[in-house]
A and B are shown apart, each in its own frame.
Chain A
Amino acid sequence: MGEFPFTQVQVDELVQKEKYVLSVPRKEKINNKIRMGCSIFLEKECKIDIKLGIEVNIAIDSLFREEIRPSGVLIWHGQDVRRINWKLQKRNANGENIENWHEHIWRDEERMGFVVPIEINNPSIEEFFLMCLERWNIKIVGEVQPMLIERIS
Chain B
Amino acid sequence: MKNLNSINIIKDYLNFIESSTKIKEIKNGCYISLPFLYSGDHFIELCIKQLNDNLFMISDLGNILIEVESSGVPIFSNKKRKTLLLDIVKKYKLNLEGVSLKKSANKKELAQTIHNFIEATKAISDLTYFREIKIAKESIINQEIKHVLDHKKIEYLEKAEAKIEGRLENHNVDFFIKNEKPEIIVTHSGENMKNRAEVWGFKFFDIKEKNPNVLSISVYDVDSIWTGTSKRILKDKSDYFVPSTDIHKIEKIIRS
Contact = CB atoms under 8 A, between A and B. Distances in A.
Interface in B3-62: 22, 24, 26-27, 31-33, 37, 40-43, 45, 47, 49, 57, 59, 61-62
A127 B75 CA distance: 27
B179 interface: no
Interface string A23-65: 1011000011100011101000101111101010111110110
B43 A50 contact: no
Contact of A152 (B27, B47, B223, B248): B248
A23 B76 CA distance: 27
A53 B72 CA distance: 11
**Which of B32, B61, B97 has the most chain A CB within a 10 Å cutoff?**
B61
A38 B72 contact: no
Contacts of A49: 245
Contact of A112 (B31, B41, B76, B148): B41
Contacts, number: 144
Nearest to A25: B147
Interface in A82-120: 83, 85, 87-91, 93, 104, 112-113
A56 B135 CA distance: 18
Nearest to B247: A48
Contacts of A48: 144, 244-248
Nearest to A49: B245
A113 B151 CA distance: 36
Contacts of B151: 22-23, 142
Contacts of A31: 76, 98-99
A67 B141 contact: no
Interface in B117-146: 133-135, 137, 140-141, 143-144
A72 B222 CA distance: 27
Contacts of A33: 62, 66, 98-99
B66 A71 contact: yes
Contacts of B66: 33, 57, 59, 71
Contact of A39 (B22, B24, B31, B144): B144
Contacts of A88: 22, 24, 31-33, 43, 45
Contact of B133 (A78, A93, A113): A78
A88 B43 CA distance: 9
Interface of A: 3-5, 22-23, 25-26, 31-33, 37-39, 41, 45, 47-51, 53, 55, 57-61, 63-64, 66-68, 71, 73, 75, 77-80, 83, 85, 87-91, 93, 104, 112-113, 142, 152-153
10 contacts: A26-B150, A33-B66, A38-B147, A47-B245, A48-B248, A50-B135, A88-B22, A88-B33, A90-B41, A91-B41
